[in-house]
Amino acid sequence: MIRSMTGFAASERQYPFGRLSWEVRSVNHRYLEYSLRLPEEFRILEPKVRDILGRYVKRGKIDATLRFHEMAGGAGGGVALNRDLAARLLEIHEELAVMAGSEQEVSVDRLMRWPGVVTEQLPDPDNLHAAALELLEAAAADLVKVRAREGEKMAEMVGERLDGVAALTLQVREWLPEIRAALRERMAERVADLGANLDADRLEAEVAVLAQKMDVDEELDRLDAHVVETRRTLERDKPVGRRLDFLMQEFNRESNTLSSKSVDQRTTQAAVDLKVLIEQMREQVQNVE
């Protein structure tokens, strides 16, 4: 079954070190393209993120955003005192006091602001990264489900238009004998009006020439074949957007030829109705993966 290229999925989970959340959006695109927004500590994961998304999505523009809200005092995180550096700074303070011949109390506030005295301890990056990738798998799987549900609706709409195309081609086939007979009658009337002496064989030959010029049996056969192939393509369990787009071009080609060969108002109108149905299908197909 076909899948749409449009979809949205989100996945969020609380961990001991904080909360991770993914948002993945996709829209139609000629190829597969990624736009990733990751916090700085996760940027190293970009190749793996692309690999995971590529396993689930074959075509479309994918926007993936990861957010990380660290839990205060969470497992593996927090702040720590660099005791060696703090002790050395205190020693230096005492030495300077002796050299200056005056004593001053140590400002703990200033000492804490000294670079490196108080350091932030981040959670284990391996655990962070593994959790983010696992959560992305869940979001990507949900995205595929959303695209598949949208694809079912699109397939239904395309199927209805295919029914319309098949009905129109059948109707034109039923009209053809009547159109050919009317063509023969009109030619006979024109010959009579001109007072020309045209024997029956010559008249039939002229009618045959005109009938050959307006013969659309081949176009109708190809339209029927395209309907069958499109239905078969809709049932494939793999990306078929480009193939469907090609089929829409072929549909349009046959409807144009049918219109150019038309010698009857009914077939002209049928060709117009065909173009409307084909354009409606084409609009849907543009969003198929």
Domain ranges in the chain are: 7-73+125-147, 78-121, 149-285
pTM of the model as a whole: 0.72
Rounded to 5°, the CA angle 118-120-125 comes to 155
pLDDT score of 111? 79
The per-residue pLDDT string of the chain (289 residues; one tens digit each, 9 = 90 and over) reads 899 999 999 999 999 888 999 999 999 999 999 999 999 989 999 999 999 999 999 999 999 999 999 876 554 556 778 888 888 888 888 887 778 777 777 788 887 888 887 776 666 788 899 999 999 999 999 999 999 999 999 999 999 999 999 999 999 999 888 887 776 666 666 655 555 555 556 556 555 556 556 678 889 999 999 999 999 999 998 899 999 999 999 999 999 998 888 878 898 999 999 999 999 999 999 999 9
**Dihedral sign (CA 153, 158, 162, 168):** positive
Show the tokens assigned to 229.
Answer: 């192939």
Cα end-to-end span (Å), the chain? 11
Q: In the structure encoding, which two tokens stand for residue 2, read together?
A: 């076909």
Beta bridge partners of 66: 22
Specify the CATH class of 7-73+125-147 in words: alpha beta
d(CA 57, CA 45): 18
CA distance 147 to 227: 24
Which H, E and C letters describe the chain, residue by residue? CCCECCEEEEEEEEECCEEEEEEEEEECCCCEEEEEECCHHHHHHHHHHHHHHHHHCCCEEEEEEEEEEECCCCCCCEEEECHHHHHHHHHHHHHHHHHHCCCCCCCHHHHHCCCCCEEEECCCHHHHHHHHHHHHHHHHHHHHHHHHHHHHHHHHHHHHHHHHHHHHHHHHHHHHHHHHHHHHHHHHHHHHHHCCCCCHHHHHHHHHHHHHHCCCHHHHHHHHHHHHHHHHHHCCCCCCHHHHHHHHHHHHHHHHHHHHHCCCHHHHHHHHHHHHHHHHHHHHHCCEC
Distance (Å, whole) CA 23 – CA 36:
10
Q: How many CA atoms lie within 13 A of 136 on its CB side?
A: 29
Q: How many residues does the chain have?
A: 289
